[in-house]
């Protein structure tokens, strides 16, 4: 099933998700590292990584929702997609709460509660990332119908269907 929204022949949702994923990973890891160092810059960098992660995740979610709405009802893909999307929204909300808890702290330092929430959200994103992989790699969601090992470039103006190899 092809993606509903593409840019230059590629699914926009799949292009955007590495951005919040990377920001969340670096932000959460920096907050853990901050517990063991005295580097004053770490909490500020982490705070802004997580802030940009929330914003970019919300943007990616818009395109994910568009793709999910195209999946036929009563399919395993629709159920997995719902779990993937809901889990991601919950994780982003948890990161948002963690950001709120530390927004008044000096240099945006993560207290124990904020750090605990970040770890929970980080673990939840690991599960939802696996579900996203299941959608694409196992269920073929977002995969071009003409995909095969010798498919022409997505930048070609004509789409020539080819049997899968």
Which letter does DSSP use for residue 153 in this model? P
DSSP 3-state assignment of 100? helix
Neighbours of 137 (CB within 10 A): 10
7 pLDDT more than 90: no
User: How many whole angstroms separate alpha carbon 11 and alpha carbon 142?
Assistant: 6
User: How many whole angstroms separate alpha carbon 129 and alpha carbon 68?
Assistant: 15
User: How many whole angstroms separate alpha carbon 144 and alpha carbon 154?
Assistant: 9
pLDDT digits 0-9 by tens, 127-165: 999 999 999 888 888 877 777 788 888 787 555 555 555
Contacts of 86 (CB under 8 A, 6+ apart): none
88 pLDDT more than 90: yes
In the prediction, which pLDDT does 163 show?
54
In the prediction, which pLDDT does 112 show?
93
35 pLDDT more than 80: yes
């Amino acid at each position: 099933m092809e993606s509903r929204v593409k840019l230059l022949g590629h699914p926009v949702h799949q292009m955007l998700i590495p951005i919040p994923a990377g920001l969340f990973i670096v932000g959460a890891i920096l907050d853990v590292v901050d517990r063991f160092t005295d580097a004053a810059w770490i909490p500020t960098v982490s705070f802004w990584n997580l802030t940009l992660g929330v914003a970019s995740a919300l943007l990616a979610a818009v395109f994910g929702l568009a793709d999910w709405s195209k999946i036929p009802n009563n399919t395993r893909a629709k159920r997995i997609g719902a779990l993937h999307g809901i889990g991601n929204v919950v994780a982003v909300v948890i990161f948002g709460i963690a950001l709120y808890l530390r927004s008044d702290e000096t240099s945006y330092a993560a207290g124990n509660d904020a750090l605990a929430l970040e770890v929970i959200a980080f673990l939840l994103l690991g599960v939802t990332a696996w579900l996203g992989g299941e959608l694409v790699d196992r269920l073929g969601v977002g995969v071009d119908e003409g995909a095969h090992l010798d498919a022409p470039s997505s930048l070609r103006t004509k789409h020539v269907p080819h049997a899968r190899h």
